[in-house]
């Protein structure tokens, strides 16, 4: 919006929240167009319906930012489709969304998918025998590792040719958003962090947390190509001490196959 000239679609679980966000954005300097549409990633039917309605708009798709996420401190909660909520909201819903709109993305040379992951993925493990059998914070970390593996495999499949897709995973840092809403006293945590001096916390504002995602969505193609298939933080490539940022290439392929089968028998 600040750069102007973009048509942005806000895909929101609650349209009222999306409209409120649109109103707030439009108060700032800039320009462009914002459209709010309904999308619930915890419901595969909603994902397919959104994609169908988006295609009817006849718009090109230059960039998709998969930003939705849920975090529960503990407990196992089922989505409407029967999957563990972190797994579906943070990964399976995004996987289906990208796959449904991939033909549109590929119609636009050098289009981009930017996935909002988390540094916590570096501390996660995959429960390969049953991805659905994790709960709470452990399930969240697994879902963030799924984000990175998805991006790596998407790059491997679609990003090799110069004119094709750029797929990037970013870490927003510890942004003070409402992601703690499911924590005990989550509202109090959010207020506490908001007023804590910046020198005493690594917390970022929402705008600061969004910076790398927006940068990767709008940077020049040479930069996007260099970032494709990789993990980015603070507008720079990010890797942990000691080597790579994920598991073996087999893990990427295996997760892709598992995710492809999950949304329904018609997708196998």
Q: Tokens in use for 176?
A: 């003070």
Would the pLDDT of 95 be above 70?
yes
Whole-number pLDDT of residue 265: 42
Q: Tokens in use for 63?
A: 């960039």
Whole-number pLDDT of residue 58: 96
Would the pLDDT of 184 be above 70?
no
Is the pLDDT higher at 185 or at 106?
A: 106
Confidence of residue 187 (pLDDT cuts 50, 70, 90): very low
Confidence of residue 244 (pLDDT cuts 50, 70, 90): very low
Are the C-beta atoms of 227 and 166 separated by less than 8 Å?
Answer: yes
Would the pLDDT of 186 be above 60?
no
Segments of the chain assigned E as strands: 7-12, 33-38, 63-66, 112-116, 166-171, 231-233, 236-237
Residue 235 Rama label (left phi>0; alpha psi -120 to 50; beta): left
Please report, for residues 148, 193, 213, the alpha-carbon distance to residue 180 in angstroms, rounded to integers and kept in the order given: 22, 11, 20
Confidence of residue 200 (pLDDT cuts 50, 70, 90): very low
Sequence-distant (6+) residues with CB within 8 A of 207 are none
Whole-number pLDDT of residue 232: 95
Confidence of residue 119 (pLDDT cuts 50, 70, 90): confident
Confidence of residue 267 (pLDDT cuts 50, 70, 90): very low
Whole-number pLDDT of residue 188: 52
Whole-number pLDDT of residue 259: 76
pLDDT in tens, 8-43: 999 999 999 999 999 999 998 888 999 999 999 999
pTM: 0.84
Whole-number pLDDT of residue 209: 82
């Amino acid at each position: 919006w600040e750069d102007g000239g973009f048509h942005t679609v806000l895909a929101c679980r609650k349209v009222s929240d999306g409209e409120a966000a649109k109103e707030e954005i439009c108060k700032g300097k800039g320009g462009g167009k914002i459209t709010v549409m309904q999308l619930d990633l915890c419901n595969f039917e909603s994902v397919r319906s959104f994609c169908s309605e988006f295609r009817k708009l006849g718009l090109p798709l230059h960039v998709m930012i998969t930003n939705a996420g849920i975090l529960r401190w503990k407990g196992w909660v089922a989505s409407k489709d029967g999957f563990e909520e972190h797994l579906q909201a943070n990964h399976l819903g995004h996987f289906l969304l990208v796959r449904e709109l991939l033909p549109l993305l590929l119609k636009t040379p050098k289009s981009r998918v930017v996935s909002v992951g988390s540094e916590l993925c570096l501390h996660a493990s995959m429960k390969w025998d049953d991805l659905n059998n994790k709960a709470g914070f452990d399930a969240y970390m697994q879902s963030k590792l799924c984000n990175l593996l998805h991006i790596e495999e998407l790059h491997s499949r679609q990003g090799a040719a110069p004119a094709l897709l750029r797929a990037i995973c970013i870490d927003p840092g510890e942004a003070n958003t409402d992601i703690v809403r499911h924590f005990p006293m989550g509202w109090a945590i959010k207020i506490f962090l908001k007023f804590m001096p910046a020198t005493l916390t690594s917390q970022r504002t929402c705008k600061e947390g969004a910076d790398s995602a927006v940068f990767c969505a709008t940077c020049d193609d040479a930069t996007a190509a260099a970032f494709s298939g990789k993990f980015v933080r603070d507008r720079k490539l990010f890797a942990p001490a000691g080597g790579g940022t994920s598991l073996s290439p087999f893990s990427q392929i295996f997760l892709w196959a598992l995710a492809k089968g999950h949304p329904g028998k018609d997708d196998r």
